[in-house]
Structure 1
Amino acid sequence: MKYRRIGNSGVKISEIGLGSWLTYGTAAEQKAADACIRTAFENGINFIDTANAYNRGAGEEAIGAALKGYDRSSYVLSTKVFFPMGDGPNDRGLSRKHIIEQCDASLKRLGVDYLDIYFCHRFDDETPLEETLRALDDLTSQGKILYSAVSEWTGAQITEASEISNRLHLRPLISNQPIYNMFERYIEKEVLQVSEKNGLGQIVFSPLAQGILTGKYKPGMELPKDSRAANDTVNGVIKSYLQENVLLAVQELQGLANELGISLSQLSLAWILRQPGVSSAIIGASKPDQIVENVKAVEVNLSSDVLEEIERVLKKVEDFTPLR
């Protein structure tokens, strides 16, 4: 495993991190969570990501149970706040009330005394940004979080937050967590540059496009029955990628990966890690062998010729728009 600093901070995380969205949270899945966490540690992964909204806290509980027995200083743990956690008017967003209350609730569910990174899961147009940033800074002063961060914020939002933090002498944000994969590249236009200027590193999610970039879905073929895409309870996001031009591009990328002697997922992750502004790519895994395969991507160096070939393929889907 290799490790990178998060932005201008001093903390280092594994280039491949382990996430828990749509993966852990039920009693039947706890054994899988335990096995995946164990395999992650065995393969050098030290960054674990979750969120309070994953199964309304059940995801955090599963991660917390799986982490019991591991030295707290041996891993970097993050969770998030923003999405609804109840039916009340204050059970969502980035108000001081919601942030403080949800941080305490997350700590309890995870069974830890502090969070390494606390992400604002989205931007809140209804709360003054200064209120949000002061709440995060107070949590840091209290030792409940070590670093604050954001997720899916625009370049303008990151700039404004950084300006407020500088003016008020608040501790700076260290990371943005955006979606980033071969088909969704919006951060390349502005977010990467703005984040670098303001000291934020990218910890990206959905690097394999919900499993599309593993090659399991073929154009013109029936969905694998045991796949996420075939499960109507969790396949809303995946459907965005099940477009013929996307699947045809995946086939070409699979051929390129075969020529290089690596898996398509390794090619896709190495492509993401080529970006110096990326600190880590978060993978999801329900089986330990998925982790073992994906971590090998840190050893893959893509030549300029290979990167040009990838761009040639992706040019064919540059007009791809997620159906969300």
Structure 2
Amino acid sequence: MPHTTLGRSGLHVTRACLGTMNFGTDPHAPTAEPEARRIVDAFLDAGHTLIDTADTYRGGTSEEILGRAVAHRRGDVVLATKGGAPQGTGPNHRGLSRGHLTRALEASLRRLGTDYVDLYQCHVPDATTPIEETMGVLDDFVRAGKVRYAGCSNVTAAGVVSAQWAAQRRGGTPLVSLQANYSLITRAIEAEIIPVCRELGLGVLAYSPLGGGVLAGRYRRGMAPEPGSRLGQWAAMPSPMARGFVAGLLADRHFDVADEVAAVADELGTTAPTVALGWLGGRAEITSVVLGPRSAEHLAANLDGLAFPLPAEAVQRLDEASRFTVVPAVTGQHTAP
């Protein structure tokens, strides 16, 4: 399996990344531990290496299951997790402060059953903590041998610039990756985030490649999501933010794109997920694509889709169907003062 380096680093990763948000022990978890182990083994046996989790996935049980699944072949895995999301109700139970990140990393290492992670990512931005503090504690983790490389997730282009400047000022560890929502229905990162990451040495990990299931044909225009589906569960949450997210994802424009994906799939004699993943697999600006399979069979289909060679005319059609107005980022201006 071909490898590439993650950003401006020596860490080699594969084009496919295994996302483990589905792994859990609660009744609503799509993937219980026996099937999760099958998925992990199949992923590694196929030559892939990068596996991603987070301390908040299924209340931490995703990390526990993953830790047990890779214990016998830890050296084959580029193990990535995230910290910074809320772990309690108090103000110090969340964010990217030294105190919270230190506690979060130690807890993740215990759940994963390892003494280091290859990639530790700040899960969400934190406007209340100085960026110098966050980059300082990430540097301390690296120097202590508990983390090999640092990354971030869901950060703006300005946030990336600020973080890299802070690392440069203190002579510390820079970020080597950014994980972002990217698919045929979510291409906003092309405007500024991808150019800034390219310039400042970050690889891009694309999550939600099937647009939350919209591109896979799991939802229908004008119809509420099924109660047992992921979007159905989010829509039932009391949080207005969760309900707003679902409403935005089920926008008419997104179904227009999904219809074009389905049309291309019919013409090529394949499936809509294969077409959507094949489009992502051809994006040179993306380092790795985070797949979230529910079963080993689902993983195999996703891997085949990611490697599917879309004809140039199909790529052009999908580009046009999903195009949005992009104001190019100004490059060459991100040198630290």
- What's the TM-score, normalizing by structure 2? 0.86
Please state how far the C-alpha of 1:217 moved relative to its aligned partner. Answer: 2.5
1:131-146 mapped onto 2 (5 Å cutoff)? 131-146=133-148
Structure 1 position 287 matched with structure 2 position 295 = yes
Structure 1 position 55 matched with structure 2 position 58 = yes
CA 1:18/1:233 → structure 2, altered by over 3 Å: closer, same or farther?
farther
The aligned amino acid for 2:15 is E
**Alpha-carbon contact 1:229-1:239 (below 8 Å) kept:** no
User: Which of 36, 39, 42 is residue 36 of structure 1 equivalent to?
Assistant: 39
Deviates more, 1:162-171 or 1:202-211: 162-171
Structure 1 position 24 matched with structure 2 position 23 = yes
**Alpha-carbon contact 1:213-1:265 (below 8 Å) kept:** yes
User: Which of 262, 271, 293 is residue 263 of structure 1 equivalent to?
Assistant: 271
Please state how far the C-alpha of 1:226 moved relative to its aligned partner. Answer: 5.6
Q: Deviations over 1:215-264 (max 9, x none)?
A: 23333667567643444568855553223442243122111022223322
| Amino-acid identity (%) | 32
Query: Whole-Å Cα distance in 1 between the matches of residues 185 and 310 of structure 2?
Result: 18
User: Which of 300, 310, 313 is residue 318 of structure 2 equivalent to?
Assistant: 310
Query: Whole-Å Cα distance in 2 between the matches of residues 123 and 165 of structure 1?
Result: 16
Higher relative contact order (CA 8 A, sep 6+): 1
User: Which of 148, 151, 171 is residue 150 of structure 2 equivalent to?
Assistant: 148
What's the Cα RMSD here? 2.2
Name the counterpart of 1:322. none
1:162-177 mapped onto 2 (5 Å cutoff)? 162-177=164-179
Name the counterpart of 2:12. 12
Name the counterpart of 2:162. 160
User: Which of 173, 188, 191 is residue 189 of structure 1 equivalent to?
Assistant: 191
1:204-219 mapped onto 2 (5 Å cutoff)? 204-219=206-221
SS in 2 for 1:266: helix
Query: Whole-Å Cα distance in 1 between the matches of residues 164 and 254 of structure 2?
Result: 37
Query: Whole-Å Cα distance in 2 between the matches of residues 84 and 230 of structure 1?
Result: 23
Query: Whole-Å Cα distance in 2 between the matches of residues 218 and 127 of structure 1?
Result: 41
CA 1:135/1:189 → structure 2, altered by over 3 Å: closer, same or farther?
same
Query: Whole-Å Cα distance in 1 between the matches of residues 89 and 231 of structure 2?
Result: 29
SS in 2 for 1:302: coil
User: Which of 253, 261, 264 is residue 253 of structure 1 equivalent to?
Assistant: 261
**Alpha-carbon contact 1:2-1:298 (below 8 Å) kept:** no
Deviates more, 1:133-142 or 1:36-45: 36-45
The aligned amino acid for 2:20 is S
Query: Whole-Å Cα distance in 1 between the matches of residues 179 and 160 of structure 2?
Result: 12
The aligned amino acid for 2:171 is H
- What's the TM-score, normalizing by structure 1? 0.90
Query: Whole-Å Cα distance in 2 between the matches of residues 55 and 228 of structure 1?
Result: 13
List alignment gaps of at least 5 residues for structure 1.
320-324
The aligned amino acid for 2:58 is N
Query: Whole-Å Cα distance in 1 between the matches of residues 232 and 132 of structure 2?
Result: 43
SS in 2 for 1:183: coil
How many residues are treated as equivalent by the alignment? Answer: 315
SS in 2 for 1:252: helix
**Alpha-carbon contact 2:184-2:257 (below 8 Å) kept:** no
